[in-house]
Amino acid sequence: MAFTYRGLTADFDRHIVTDSEVDQHLHRMQQQTPRITEVNDRPTENGDEVVLDYAGFCDGVQFPGGTAEMQTLTLGSGQFIPGFEEQLLDKVPGEEVIVKVTFPEQYHAEDLAGKEAQFHCKLHAIRIKSSYELNDEFAKEVGGCETLEEMKAKLKESLQSYTDERGEMDLQDRLLQQAAATLDYTVDPNELEDAVEQQLRNMQAQLSQQGLSLDMYCSFMGITKEDLHKDTYPIAESALRRDAAVEEIVRLEKLEATEQEIGEAIALICRQNNITVEQFKPYYDAEFEAAVRKSVLTTKVMQLIRSTAILAEK
């Protein structure tokens, strides 16, 4: 079979966002966004959120890590060490309180474990959380819109844009995989092993962001690490074939990644991570530049395949 990447055919299923989906999203926003109201006519009670400054002292000396300004704390949550939150009950904004506590014997900071301490606190505000009604007030305070109907319209437009973007990405990926399937390609066993290990490292990195490990994942899924390793081979081989197809199209079409395109890609990475280009420079090396160049070329390849594809849109 000849390597084919132009004139591919595919179904393009465009999902149209419904009013019901918009309502479901609004309800999730309502649940996840409590209304916060400041209280000025009573002292603190359990369940209140307070805003305070505090500074911790042990044996008369202020200790590192025990100081904060404008810290939020829900009284009764158990977020702070035992005995701390209870001493902030029945207090009013502007009041200064000395909280006396004893650190637990098993405290993570060994130099403080089991010791008595004092926290000099100043209470700034008392807040309570309640649920919003789905009305114009919710639209103004949460959605930045004048009315709930306006918020619904903007939300529907945003969801449709997101859905279309995800659909387009899925389409381009399917077209690239379709092209890669026609490539005369034999995987190198050593490359495959390296790709499998890289896939597992990527998976471990993603799991660690959720406080999980590969062992825990395997336990949840009822599989062994050997099973996981074996199941990763087809995924890794598919990724290698995809990369090989991209490289071949780049060669055949004489595609290049210009310095301007690489610079724009780096600027986008910085914006997505809320850092400046200057802050990013220490992390930018030859390996990272190669990865960015590969990403730019892959995007060009996918756009080329997409522009010549014959689609049946639904």
The string of pLDDT tens digits covering residues 37-93 is: 999 999 999 999 999 999 999 988 999 888 999 999 999 999 999 999 999 999 999
Both structure tokens of 28? 């999730």
Instruction: Please tell me the predicted confidence (pLDDT) of residue 283.
Output: 83
Instruction: Please tell me the predicted confidence (pLDDT) of residue 111.
Output: 85
Confidence of residue 13 (pLDDT cuts 50, 70, 90): confident
Both structure tokens of 130? 């309640």
Give the E-state strand segments of the chain in sequence order. 9-12, 35-39, 49-58, 61-74, 96-102, 116-130, 310-313
What pTM value is reported for the model?
0.70
5: which strand partners?
none
Asked if residue 37 lies in contact with residue 127, where contact means CB atoms within 8 angstroms, the answer is: yes
- DSSP character at residue 281: G
Q: Is 95 left (phi over 0), alpha (psi -120 to 50) or beta?
A: beta
Asked if residue 74 lies in contact with residue 48, where contact means CB atoms within 8 angstroms, the answer is: yes
- DSSP character at residue 117: E
Instruction: Please tell me the predicted confidence (pLDDT) of residue 277.
Output: 85
**CA-wise closest residue to 228 among 188, 206, 201, 249:** 201
Instruction: Please tell me the predicted confidence (pLDDT) of residue 137.
Output: 93
217-226 mean pLDDT: 91
> What is the distance between the alpha carbons of residues 191 and 175, in angstroms, rounded to a whole number?
24
Instruction: Please tell me the predicted confidence (pLDDT) of residue 212.
Output: 87
Cα dihedral sign for 234, 239, 243, 245? positive
**CA-wise closest residue to 201 among 229, 174, 223:** 229
**CA-wise closest residue to 52 among 79, 82, 92, 86:** 92
208-230 mean pLDDT: 90
Task: Map residue 80 onto helix, strand or coil.
Answer: coil
Instruction: Please tell me the predicted confidence (pLDDT) of residue 77.
Output: 93
Q: Burial code of 103-118, b = ≥16 C-beta within 10 A, e = fewer? A: beeeeeeeebeeeebb
Pairing assessment for the beta strands 116-130 and 310-313 based on DSSP bridges? unpaired
